[in-house]
Chains A and B, each alone.
Chain A
Amino acid sequence: MQMRDTKPGGGETGYWTWHMVAGVVMVALLGLHMTTMHLGGQTGLFVAHPAEQAVSPANSQARDASLALTVGYVLLLGFGLYHGLFGLRTMLLELTLRPAAEQALTVALIVVGLALLGFGSWAAFAAHKAASGLAAPAAVYVGG
Chain B
Amino acid sequence: MTPAIAPGAEITFHVRRYTPGKDARPSITAYRVPLKSGMTVLDGLYYIKENLDQSLTWRSSCRMGVCGACGMLVNGSPRLACNTQILEVARGQITLGPLPNFDIIRDLVPDLTSMIEKHQEIMPFIQREDQAEIDNPDGEYYQSPGDLERYLQFSFCIKCGCCMAACPTLATDIRYLGPMPLAQALRYNNDSRDGGAALRTSVAASRHGVFRCHFAGECSRVCPKGVDPAKAIQLLKGQLVAGYLGLGRRKRPCTKLGPASRR
Contacts and interface: CB of A to CB of B under 8 A. Distances in A.
Interface stretch (B24-32, B38-46, B102-110, B202-210): B202-210
Contact of B203 (A4, A17, A94, A96): A4
Contacts of A95: 172-173
Interface string A88-106: 0010011110000010000
A66 interface: no
Given A1-B117, A4-B206, A16-B241, 11 more contacts: A2-B175, A4-B121, A4-B209, A6-B207, A11-B206, A12-B205, A13-B201, A13-B241, A93-B208, A94-B212, A95-B173
A96 B174 contact: yes
B18 interface: no
A96 to B, nearest CB: 5
Interface in A1-45: 1-2, 4-6, 8, 10-14, 16-17, 20
29 contacts: A1-B117, A1-B121, A2-B121, A4-B121, A4-B202, A4-B203, A4-B209, A5-B206, A6-B202, A6-B207, A6-B209, A12-B205, A12-B206, A12-B207, A12-B209, A13-B201, A13-B240, A13-B241, A13-B243, A14-B244, A16-B241, A17-B245, A20-B241, A93-B173, A94-B169, A94-B172, A95-B173, A96-B173, A96-B175
Nearest to A91: B172
A96 B172 contact: yes
Contacts of A6: 202-203, 205-207, 209
Interface in B150-189: 169, 172-176
The 3 closest A-B pairs by CB, nearest first: A4-B206, A94-B173, A6-B206
A1 B122 CA distance: 11
Q: By DSSP majority rule, is chain A's interface helix, strand, loop, or mixed?
A: loop
A108 B206 CA distance: 20
Contacts of B209: 4, 6, 12
Contact of B212 (A1, A5, A13, A93): A93
Interface of A: 1-2, 4-6, 8, 10-14, 16-17, 20, 90, 93-96, 102
A132 B241 CA distance: 43
A14 B211 CA distance: 11
Interface of B: 117, 120-121, 169, 172-176, 201-203, 205-209, 211-212, 237, 240-241, 243-245
A6 to B, nearest CB: 4
Contacts of A14: 244
A22 B81 CA distance: 45
A4 B203 CA distance: 6
B245 A1 contact: no
A1 B120 contact: yes
Contact of B244 (A17, A94, A96): A17
The interface centre, meaning the residue of B169, B174, B206, B209 with most chain A CB atoms within 10 A of its CB, is B206
B244 A13 contact: yes
A93 B207 CA distance: 8
A5 B245 CA distance: 21
Contacts of A5: 206-207
A104 B73 CA distance: 37
